């Protein structure tokens, strides 16, 4: 049997709950649908407000071919194949198929670039769904070709209405004696997410015994959800929201928030190795040279949780998260590689200076490969100043030490060694 959320999925705009500013009478999106002139657009809003449902309703209403891709699993190859299939569906003046991309903000730049031609030429009408601000997560070229519609969180009245409607309209629940006495707990645990709302209702109603009346109270909801009280969806959008909150709390040096979000993931059944891997990334991206031991700590954490297993590994994760949160912070290594990649993209494949080239053969040596290279260990302090960058980019300073004790020492050494080459 289908889940309750799927059984209750609305089929028309009139059945759709919420977002009246978009789909209500005379609202902008409803007018576009009714006219048949649908632009490409992006739906931006929190999880569980009906982005996928709205896209499906629009496609069904307009009777257009409908393709769905998830940015979590789809690659450029999948996009191209879908676009080719869409081209085959177009005949004469027939409206273009609709391509729905869930979590479009998770597409890389190259993946988003691969959509541009098809959207611009009208091969497909794109509907993207995102929980993140598209101004930051969608490339400007694609964003300029799309309208952005903001979806609002479902109101309390909307959620209560959805619950009551399920009890009287669902083919399975309407034949059972179920009464909701208190709504607060089920609304709180759903977090305004309509999908979770129905999942919780279905979970609680599964405990009804025989023909007895089931009275849903706050205590009953809490009791039945106690094994997963965090209502953490490790396979859905909240998975990314909570790991984001966790990493940002570490970056922001708040150990209390870090262990809170860690507990949310633990209680929700998150893969402990996934958490440990993200700690390794944080140790390098957000702490880096300010405290190189952070990377050692995080790497050891991953090895330790693999060795120890559950439940003791939660202590190791907690120790590491607190250590990282309370450590000095620096993103100088992260910025340096970003600067270097930008320079490479700007200047292309510049030739390696002759002095730095490998010279394993006589011909190469005759061509001056390796000539003029100075072996650093032959000099005092194991250092001698010489050019290591291609001639066209000499003097570009890509690494900038930040203001913390460890990197201040690095700055002073660089200033002493490279004062004629780089401005430190």
pLDDT value for 86: 81
At 210 the pLDDT is 67
Task: Determine the pLDDT at residue 256.
Answer: 92
Q: What percent of the chain has pLDDT over 70?
A: 95
pTM summary value: 0.53
Residue 1 has pLDDT above 70, yes or no: no
Higher pLDDT, residue 71 or 42: 42
Q: How confident is the model at residue 359 (pLDDT cuts 50, 70, 90)?
A: confident
Q: Domain 156-228's class?
A: mainly alpha
> What are the structural domain ranges in the chain?
18-150, 156-228, 237-326, 345-418
Q: What is the pLDDT of residues 389-414, one digit of tens each?
A: 898 888 888 998 998 899 899 999 98
d(Cα 230, Cα 263) in Å, to the nearest integer?
9
Mean of all residue pLDDT scores within the chain: 85
For residue 117, the SS3 value is: helix
Q: Per-residue pLDDT tens for 5-49?
A: 888 888 888 888 888 888 888 888 889 888 888 888 999 888 778
| 312-340 mean pLDDT | 93
Q: List pLDDT tens digits, range 82-130.
A: 888 888 776 666 788 888 988 888 887 888 888 888 888 888 888 989 8
Q: Are 53 and 16 in contact (CB under 8 A)?
A: yes
Q: β-strand 41-44 against 125-130: which pairing, if any? A: parallel
The pLDDT of residue 186 is 86
Quote the pLDDT of residue 236: 54
What integer is the mean pLDDT of 61-73? Answer: 84
Q: What is the mean pLDDT of residues 302-325?
A: 90
Four-residue CA torsion sign, 101, 79, 236, 303 = negative
Q: Which CATH class is domain 345-418?
A: mainly alpha
- Map residue 96 onto helix, strand or coil: coil
Confidence tier at 237 by pLDDT (50, 70, 90):
low
pLDDT tens profile 366-381: 888 888 889 999 899 8
pLDDT at 301: 95
Residues in the chain: 424
DSSP letter, residue 151: P
Which ranges of 194-270 does DSSP label H, i.e. alpha helix? 194-205, 218-224, 237-251, 255-267
Identify the CATH number of the domain defined by range 237-326: 1.20.272.10
Cβ-Cβ contacts under 8 Å for 80 (sequence gap 6 or more) = 114
* pLDDT for res 91: 65
pLDDT in tens, 179-195: 888 888 888 878 778 88
Q: Which fold has domain 18-150?
A: Rossmann fold (3.40.50)
pLDDT exceeds 70 at position 254: yes
Whether 333 has a pLDDT exceeding 90, the answer reads yes
Give pLDDT tens digits for 275-287: 999 999 999 999 9
């Amino acid at each position: 049997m289908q889940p309750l959320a799927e059984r209750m999925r609305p089929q028309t705009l009139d059945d759709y709950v919420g977002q009246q500013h978009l789909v209500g009478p005379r609202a902008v999106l409803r007018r576009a649908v009714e006219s048949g002139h649908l632009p490409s657009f992006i739906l931006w809003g929190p999880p569980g407000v009906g982005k996928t449902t709205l896209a499906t309703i629009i496609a069904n209403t307009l009777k257009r071919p409908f393709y769905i891709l998830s940015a979590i699993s789809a690659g450029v190859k999948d996009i191209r194949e879908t676009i080719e299939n869409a081209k085959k569906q177009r005949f004469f003046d027939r409206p273009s198929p609709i391509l729905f991309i869930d979590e479009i903000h998770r597409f890389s730049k190259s993946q988003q670039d691969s959509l541009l031609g098809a959207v611009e030429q009208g091969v497909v009408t794109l509907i993207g769904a995102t929980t993140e601000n598209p101004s930051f997560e969608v490339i400007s070229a694609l964003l300029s070709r799309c309208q952005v519609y903001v979806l609002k969180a479902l109101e309390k009245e909307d959620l209560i209405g959805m619950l009551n409607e399920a009890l009287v309209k669902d083919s399975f629940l309407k034949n059972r004696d179920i009464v909701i006495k208190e709504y607060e707990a089920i609304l709180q645990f759903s977090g305004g997410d309509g999908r979770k709302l129905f999942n919780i209702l279905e979970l609680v109603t599964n405990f009804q015994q025989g023909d007895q009346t089931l009275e849903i109270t706050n205590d009953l909801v809490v009791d039945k959800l106690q094994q997963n009280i965090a209502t953490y969806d490790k396979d859905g959008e909240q998975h990314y929201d909570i790991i984001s909150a966790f990493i940002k709390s570490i970056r922001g040096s708040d150990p209390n928030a870090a262990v809170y979000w860690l507990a949310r993931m633990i209680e929700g059944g998150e893969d402990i190795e996934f958490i440990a891997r993200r700690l390794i990334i944080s140790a390098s991206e957000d702490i880096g040279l300010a405290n190189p031991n952070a990377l050692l700590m995080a790497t050891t954490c991953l090895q330790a949780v693999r060795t120890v297993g559950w439940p003791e590994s939660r202590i190791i994760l907690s120790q590491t998260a607190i250590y990282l949160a309370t450590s000095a912070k620096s993103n100088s290594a992260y910025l340096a590689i970003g600067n270097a990649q930008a320079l490479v993209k700007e200047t292309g494949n510049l030739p390696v200076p002759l002095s730095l080239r490998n010279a394993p053969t006589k011909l190469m040596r005759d061509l001056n490969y390796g000539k003029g290279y100075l072996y650093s260990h032959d000099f005092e302090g194991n250092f001698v100043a010489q050019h290591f960058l291609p001639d066209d980019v000499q003097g570009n300073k890509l690494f900038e030490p930040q203001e913390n004790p460890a990197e201040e020492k690095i700055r002073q050494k660089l200033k002493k060694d490279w004062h004629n080459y780089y401005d430190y």
